[in-house]
Amino acid sequence: MAGGRPGSNPTRDLVRVAFGPSVVALTVIAAVTLLQLLIANSDMTGASGAIASMWLGVHQVPISIDGRELGVLPLLPVLLMVAGTARTTAQATSADASWFVVRWIVASALGGPLLIAAVSLAVIHDAASVITELQTPHALNAFAHVFVVHAIGAVIGVGWRMGRRVLAETSLPDWLADSLRAAVTGMLALFGLAGVVTLASLVLHWGTMHELYAITDSLFGQLSLTLLAVLYVPNVLVGAAAMAVGSSAHIGPALFSAFTVLGGDIPALPILAAAPTPPLGPVWVALLIIGAASGVAVGQQCARRALPLLPALAKVLTAAFMSAVVMALLGFAGGGRLGNFGDVGVDQVTFGPAVFCWFAAIGALTVVMIGGVSRGAVGVRPMLPPAPPRQPEPVPAPAEVVDPPEPGQLFEPDELFEPDEVTGGGELSWTPEPEPPRASDPHPPTQPPGPLEDPEDLMFTDDDGFERPS
């Protein structure tokens, strides 16, 4: 089986794709869990169940402990898992790989994690018999989450290597790659600007963040809170992005948007100190500028290659749609139920449509203003009458080529000229044809004069019979 990098081992590549990212995640989780138990001076009774639960938690599988469900899991680990799967899949795939090889690579990327998920469920079920507070997740839900996470990574990895080939072999428009690039640019701009606003809000609410750190007195506890806050940074950025496009985020009864804020209890997580507090000042309305600026970034990417009107608008709409789908998926993954606090997340009804409207409207306006539309009126080529078929040009007959005589061979006389009259003795006489008169000569030549007559014939005498008059 070939299709990976030149000189690589296909079997080793498939094993790396199947178990590489999952084993790395298990190693990191086991190290953190054992360190936590060691510092807490606890026995290792439930270490295996905790490691298996955290591995499933990386794939956004809800964890239930003592009847309380932890459904709001950090997005950073799952994003790293998707990136790891995409990287290993891309390394095992070459641009000219056959589809049979690609299917094996994708199957390996899905089969290995599903096998580890089955083992993790078995370990959690066994540990739950000893630790009654730990509950086994629903098997179908766990397998679905693991499948979706690694399927997204495998599609990204294979598409990174074979995207141009797929576009060339199918009837998809060639501007689809430009739409994907514009969608990624718009989302990065949205997250980047939302991160700047979040950092500025943390500085403004430094006292609140200090109070949240005060719930623990130990240095290890504060380090643990800092690590947990870093893991939840993508979740907070998704909430800030929802506010920037006109949607809202909520933590139980507490509601946050660019137009209103309803207070409520929030978890003791330092990163949540960036949440606005009532009464809402007019500065938060400036968050809408972030949505407009992100739409401008989408339009700039779409205008890099000018197209007629309809394809240019289709490019922008496709980029806006892909961005809306990805942002809605991130909003869904970053939300869930958080124990007694209730549901946490963004408003799914308005988040995706708001992203689409900002990116589509501002992006299309930007494309038109900066020259992303070519002179084609609607992108349809004019119907011209068919050109008459070209008549083939006459090919001149090839000139007769006379082979040169061989050395020692002479031409026969009849090959040089034709005799006009054969005289005696076998001699040939040749009468040249008279040359035609030249057009530049005004007096064509005449026949040469005959012999002169005798002058005496022109003289008259008396003897000639003429009488002299009297």
DSSP code, position 212: H
Torsion sign, CA atoms 374, 181, 324, 300: negative
| Proportion of the chain above pLDDT 90, given as a percent | 41
Query: What pLDDT does residue 11 have?
Result: 84
Q: Give the range among 131-135, 168-172, 443-447 with minimum mean pLDDT.
A: 443-447
The Cβ-side half-sphere exposure at 257, using a 13 Å CA radius, reads 13
DSSP 91-125: HH--TT--HHHHHHHHHHHHHHHHHHHHHHHHHHH
Confidence class for position 428, pLDDT limits 50, 70, 90: very low
Q: Render pLDDT for 182-218 as a digit per residue (tens, 0 to 9).
A: 999 999 999 999 999 999 989 988 888 888 888 888 8
CA distance to 17, 165, 166, per residue, from 96 (Å): 19, 8, 11
Lowest mean pLDDT among 20-29, 59-68, 134-143, 171-180: 59-68
Query: Residue 222 in contact with residue 230, Cβ under 8 Å?
Result: no
Q: Which of 290, 320, 328, 289 shows the shortest CA–CA distance to 302?
A: 320
What does the pLDDT read at residue 392?
Answer: 59
* Averaged pLDDT for residues 399-403: 54
User: pLDDT band for position 417 (50/70/90)?
Assistant: very low
Does this model's pTM top 0.85? My answer is no
> Among 104-108, 135-139, 430-434, whose mean pLDDT is lowest?
430-434
- CA distance linking residue 114 with residue 51, whole number of Å: 16
Q: What is the pLDDT of residues 324-338, one digit of tens each?
A: 999 999 999 998 888
**Distance, CA of 365 to CA of 376 (rounded, Å):** 17
Give the type of residue at 86: A
Residue 419 clears pLDDT 90, i.e. is over it = no
Local confidence band at 110 (pLDDT 50, 70, 90 cut-offs) = very high
